[in-house]
Structure 1
C-alpha cells in the first residue's frame, strides 16, 4: 500500500529563495490528500506532475495566509476545468465564510459541491475516515486557532501466499474470506488453515503533520510513535525568543519533539525567509534527532 508525502511548499509567511508557502500532497493507496494550500500551490502541482482533479479532500490547518491563500485559485481552476465531483474541505469555521465571500463577489457558481467540515481546537477529533485511513486533528498552540492532522492507516487484511493458493487451485472468491481468517476446505474434505495460507499484514503507519505552533509539549501524546512527523521549524535555536514571541518552533525544539514522541522520521519545514541556506537547520536538528530531513520542495518521502 502506497503511503508517502510530496512537499509542494516549505516556506513560512512569504515565498522566497525558490521556496513556496506551505502545501503538501499525501498519497494513501493512490488517493491524494492536500494538506494546506499556500499561494502558488496549483503551480507546484503542475510543476511536479500531480493532477489536481485527483484531490478529493483538502485539510487547512489555520487561517494565516501562507497556509490557505492558494485555495480559492485552486478551487476556481478545478471549476474552469470542468470538475463535477464533490470536494471535501476541512478547516477553521471562518474559512467557509471566506470562500463564500470570494465566490459571491466574483459571481462564481462552482460546477461541483463543496462539503465543508469545520475543525475545532478544544479537543482532538476524528474528522475523516475511509477504508484506508483515519484522520484526526492535533491541537496546536499558535497566535490564532490552529490544528495539525494525524493520518493513521487502517490495519490491512492478511497477505495471501500466492504459491500455496495456486498450488491448491483455491477459487478466487474464497481468497477475500481466507484473508479475513476463514480456513479453506477442499473437495476431499482436507482443511487448510488461513494462518498457513497467509502472512501477517504490514503494521499500520502514521503521518503526523504539525503546522504552526509554539513548542509547548502538550500535543506529544497525540503524535506518539508516528512513523513520520512533519514539524514546523521556522527558526534556528539562537532565535528562540523570536520563535516564542511569534508562537513558532526552532529546529532544535522540533528535534526534541520527535525524540520525546518516539517518532521514526522527522521532516523539518516552514522555514523563515531569513534563511537562504537550510543545512545549518538540518545539522542542528540532527544533533539531537539523527533521522531528521529537510522538507525540500518536489521531494517525496515514504512514511
Structure 2
C-alpha cells in the first residue's frame, strides 16, 4: 500500500475570517509525518476537528508575518505546554517571529516550556533548502508581497527500484550484485549473457510534490521552482473585477493563479485565501478554470491526495 501524501485544508479565508472560513492553515501528511503550513486563528480548533494530534506536529512553516498567517501560533505553543510536550518544536519563519513569540511567552509568565522552540530563519531573497532528510526535501522561495514572504516546496526523494524476485532465481543473481542493479547496472550471467537492467527491476513510483504559494502578487519568477509539481496551492484573493485592488495589495486573482499553474505545467491547482467580500468563491473559480481547468477552490476540512498508480 502506498504511503500517504495528502493535504488537509484548515483555513481558506484571507485577513478577515467569516462564519464558515478560517484564516490560512494547512497540514501536509508526507509518509505519516505531519507538517503545519501557516497557523491562522482557529488552527487548533481545526486540528481537533480533523483529528490531527497536536503532538504529531514537529515542524511549522510560517510564510510571512501578517496576522492571519500566524496569530494561532502562540495558542498552539501554549497548548503544547499544557499537554506536557517534551519534543523540540521547529518553526521556520521570519527571524522577527522569535522575538515576538518570546515577548508573548514572557508576558504570559511562561518560564519553562518543557521543550525547545527551535527557530529557523527564512531567506526572503533566494531559494533555499530548509529541510533535508532521507525521504523528503523542503525548499523555501521568495514570493512578491508587501512584506517579506516565502513559499514552500515539499518534494519526495526518489526511491530505489525493486528487484523482481523471480529474476534473482532465474539468473542466479548473487546478493552482492543487488545494490548495483538497483543503482541501474545490467547483470552479466555466468555464461556471459548481459541481462538489461529494465528486465530485472520494477521502477519506483515517481516522487510526489506540493508547492504552497501564500500571499503574493502575480510573480513569474516562481515558475521554474514549482514546475511540474503534482499539487499547487496559490492564493487567489480576488476576482478579475478587482484586478487593480489585487495589484495594489500585492495579491493575486484566480486568473493570475491559473496562469502561473498553466505555465508551470502543474498537475492540479488549489486556490484559496478568498476575500471576505465573496460569499462563495465561484466567480474566482470560474475565472481560474477558464485558463487552467484542473482547478479547485479549497474548502475547510477538505483533503487532497496525491496517489501514484
Question: TM-score, with normalisation over the residues of structure 1?
Answer: 0.91
Partner of 1:204: 207
Indicate yes or no: 2:17 matched with 1:20.
no
TM-aligned CA deviation for residue 244 of structure 1? 0.8
Deviation at 1:198, TM superposition (A): 2.5
Aligned residues: CA RMSD: 2.6
The CA distance in 1 between the partners of 2:16 and 2:165, in whole Å, is 52
* Number of residues of Structure 1 aligned to a counterpart in Structure 2: 303
For structure 1, the 5+ residue unaligned runs are none
The Cα of 1:32 is off from its aligned counterpart by 0.4
With over 3 angstroms needed to count, the CA separation of the structure-2 counterparts of 1:122 and 1:163, relative to structure 1, is same
Whether 2:40 is the aligned partner of 1:38: answer: yes
- C-alpha distance 105-175 of structure 1, shift in aligned 2 (>3 A): farther
| Aligned mate of 1:292, from 272, 291, 295 | 295
Q: Which residue of 1 aligns with 2:239?
A: 236
Distance 1:145 1:199, change over 3 A: same
Equivalences for residues 181-260 of structure 1 within 5 A: 195-260=198-263
1:270 Cα deviation after fit = 0.4
Structure 2: runs of 5+ lacking an equivalent = none
Look up the SS of the partner of 1:241 in the other structure. helix
In the alignment, the residues of structure 2 paired with residue 175 and residue 182 of structure 1 have an alpha-carbon distance, to the nearest angstrom, of 9
Greater alpha carbon shift after TM alignment, 151-160 vs 32-41 = 151-160
Instruction: Give the Cα–Cα distance (whole angstroms) in 2 for the partners of residues 265 and 86 of structure 1.
Output: 34
Structure 2 CA distance for partners of 1:77 and 1:160, relative to 1, 3 Å: farther
Alignment of 1:150 with 2:159, yes or no, is no
The question of 1:273 aligning with 2:276 is answered yes
- Give per-residue Cα distances to partners, 1:240-270, cap 9 Å, x unaligned: 0110111100001111111111111100010
**2: CA distance, partners of 1:44 / 1:177:** 47
Q: Quote the Cα distance in structure 1 between the aligned partners of 2:179 and 2:82.
A: 42
SS of 1:219's partner is helix
Deviates more, 1:164-173 or 1:268-277: 164-173
Residue 125 of structure 2 aligns with which residue? 122
Structure 2 CA distance for aligned equivalents of residues 295 and 167 of structure 1: 51
- Choose from 62, 65, 86 the match for 1:63: 65
Cα distance between partner residues in 1 of 2:177 and 2:276: 58
Displaced runs of 4+ in structure 1, greater than 2 A? 159-186, 190-198
Taking the aligned partners of 2:290 and 2:34, their CA distance within structure 1 comes to 34
TM-score (norm 2): 0.89
Contact 1:158-1:198 at 8 Å conserved across structures: yes
Pairwise mapping of residues 104-123 of structure 1 onto structure 2 (< 5 A)?
104-108=106-110, 109-123=112-126
